[in-house]
Chain A
């Protein structure tokens, strides 16, 4: 077995390799992520024109909740990732609330335990700001 007489050398070797692996991993992920996202954005841009609206307090709270509970499926900007794009929803507020509460079997979990009605109202008003 290789036996470094100096522990310092071993430490330098360990730090260099571990740091290199970590950087390479995060770097590769960032590059891959960029590719995936630019594809998504292209698709989104062709689907809807831009446009924004001043956010209300509830909507801002809703955005925070969204980032916590929904973004890992619907994308940080709700443009869709594995779950669909949530811009320009065609379904009613009541229907949105029902979906959040009950989930969608096999596709989306139920949030009835995690979010109360006030949370769900905030989430809904956030989703309504997405045009």
Chain B
């Protein structure tokens, strides 16, 4: 599929790791902030603040990834086989990433504990989706020799 689209292939490959790494790091920091351990609790606000901004940057960094990916697949947002599996996880990841980043930045530090837990669970779902999307994306790239 990538024969005539060398540029998009490169761009997709170059940009794709940013949102993945940022989302996973943001999730790890939120996890730290939830740990009951004293040392973890002491930095809770800081973990969360950093996590929030990483997620925001992650959401923005996903835009060129999605664009180059779509250009690469000739605007095929669905597809078959590996491409379909990739998209099956890409779209939920993308939507969740944007929604979670906006929510987190909008509520700032004033979130209730209950919302923070729900937010955290959604973050885990997003992290799982992005990992799966990345996995199938890797398989796609590998199948293109």
- Apart from A4-B108, A17-B99, A18-B96, what 12 extra A-B contacts exist at CB < 8 Å? A2-B105, A4-B110, A7-B112, A14-B100, A25-B66, A25-B77, A26-B91, A30-B75, A32-B70, A32-B75, A33-B77, A71-B79
A98 CB to nearest chain B CB (Å): 17
> Are B2 and A82 within 8 A (Cβ)?
yes
B108: which A residues are within 8 A, CB to CB? 1-4
Cα–Cα distance between A122 and B12 once the two chains are bound (Å): 34
A67: which B residues are within 8 A, CB to CB? 80-81
Which of B4, B76, B140 has the most CB atoms of chain A within a 10 A radius of its CB? B76
B83: which A residues are within 8 A, CB to CB? 72
A6 CB to nearest chain B CB (Å): 9
> Are A25 and B98 within 8 A (Cβ)?
no
B108 CB to nearest chain A CB (Å): 5
Does A55 sit within 8 A of B, measured CB to CB? no
* Chain B 110-137 interface mask (CB, 8 Å, partner A; 1/0): 1110010000000000000000000000
B54 CB to nearest chain A CB (Å): 15
Which positions in A face B, CB cutoff 8 Å? Answer: 1-5, 7, 9-11, 13-15, 17-19, 21-22, 25-26, 28-33, 36, 67-69, 71-73, 76, 81-83, 103, 106-110
A68: which B residues are within 8 A, CB to CB? 80-82
Does B95 sit within 8 A of A, measured CB to CB? yes
> Are B75 and A36 within 8 A (Cβ)?
yes
Can you spell out 25 A-B residue pairs with CB atoms less than 8 angstroms apart? A3-B108, A4-B106, A4-B107, A7-B110, A10-B102, A10-B103, A13-B102, A17-B98, A18-B96, A18-B102, A21-B98, A22-B95, A22-B98, A26-B77, A29-B70, A29-B75, A31-B75, A36-B75, A67-B81, A72-B82, A76-B80, A81-B1, A82-B4, A107-B3, A108-B145
